[in-house]
Copies of this chain bind each other. A is one copy, B any other.
Amino acid sequence: MTPGGEHTTRARILEVAEAFLGECGYHGTRLHLIAQRVGIQKASLFHYFPSKEGLYRAVLEESVGQTEETVRRVLEAQGTPFDKIRTLLESYVDMVAAHPARTKILLRQSLGDAPSEPPHTNDSQRLLDVIVQFIRDGQQAHAFEAIDPVALVLGIVGMVAFFFTSAPVLAPAWCGDPWSTGHAERVKHHVVEVVERCLTPTERPHAAARRATA
């Protein structure tokens, strides 16, 4: 109950649970292993969280909130549209790289690895809308090429998630340690290159205008 008191055991449980949920998924996560790594007994978990599902939701909420804050902060900063896009991509990759388990949890969650009910679709929806609207504005100002913004954003999110979760399994030689700064930099470089190629306007404005109305 005391505000300061929550900063020890409860936070530690969330931290450990996040790691296990990312690595093993909801069904694969065993409470006794969480308790063991925290250094408490399994039954003590139920003093801090009402159930396994409650713990899961608490982990999710902390993750989504931070992502949203980061994206909004970048888009509200100063700079040209291309500057913002580049900064947004780099911040996003940094964030993914800094929280390995979170990305896996979000991927699993959208795969349906949930207790039962869909938790926070609205949050993700709003977040997506913010970025899509930013790209649309840039396109109407002829700063960006007229490519489908929703497809672009969704594709990039999937790409980045894949680079940090699945790719190390499929191509370990290329990825090396996926949580090293080297891998994050390589991903950043590639993603920025792809997006810039997709958003750089075609030389003649006629072509861009034609595509936009097609």
Please choose the segment from A9-17, A35-43, A81-89, A168-176 that sits at the chain B interface, where 4 or more of its residues have CB less than 8 A away.
A168-176
CB neighbours (8 Å) of A112 from chain B are 23-25, 104, 169
A113 at interface by CB-CB < 8 Å: yes
Please choose the segment from A45-53, A69-77, A91-99, A189-197 that sits at the chain B interface, where 4 or more of its residues have CB less than 8 A away.
A189-197
A158 touches B166 (CB 8 A): yes
Contact of A158 among B28, B110, B158 (CB under 8 A): B158
A208 at interface by CB-CB < 8 Å: no
A190 touches B148 (CB 8 A): yes
- Contact residues of A between 163 and 185, Cβ < 8 Å to B: 163, 165-167, 169-172, 174
A134 at interface by CB-CB < 8 Å: no
Given contacts A159-B162, A161-B162, A162-B157, is CB(A169)–CB(B108) below 8 Å?
no
B118 touches A193 (CB 8 A): no
A residues contacting the other copy or chain, number (CB 8 A): 49
Given contacts A162-B155, A163-B155, is CB(A171)–CB(B125) below 8 Å?
yes
Give bound CA distance, A151 to B128, whole Å: 24
A58 at interface by CB-CB < 8 Å: no
A186 at interface by CB-CB < 8 Å: yes
A147 at interface by CB-CB < 8 Å: yes
B155 touches A159 (CB 8 A): yes
8 closest Cβ pairs, A-B complex: A158-B162, A110-B166, A27-B27, A151-B190, A155-B159, A110-B169, A27-B28, A150-B174
15 A-B pairs whose Cβ atoms sit less than 8 Å apart in the complex: A25-B25, A25-B108, A25-B111, A28-B113, A108-B113, A151-B163, A151-B186, A154-B171, A154-B174, A155-B190, A157-B162, A159-B159, A159-B162, A197-B197, A197-B198
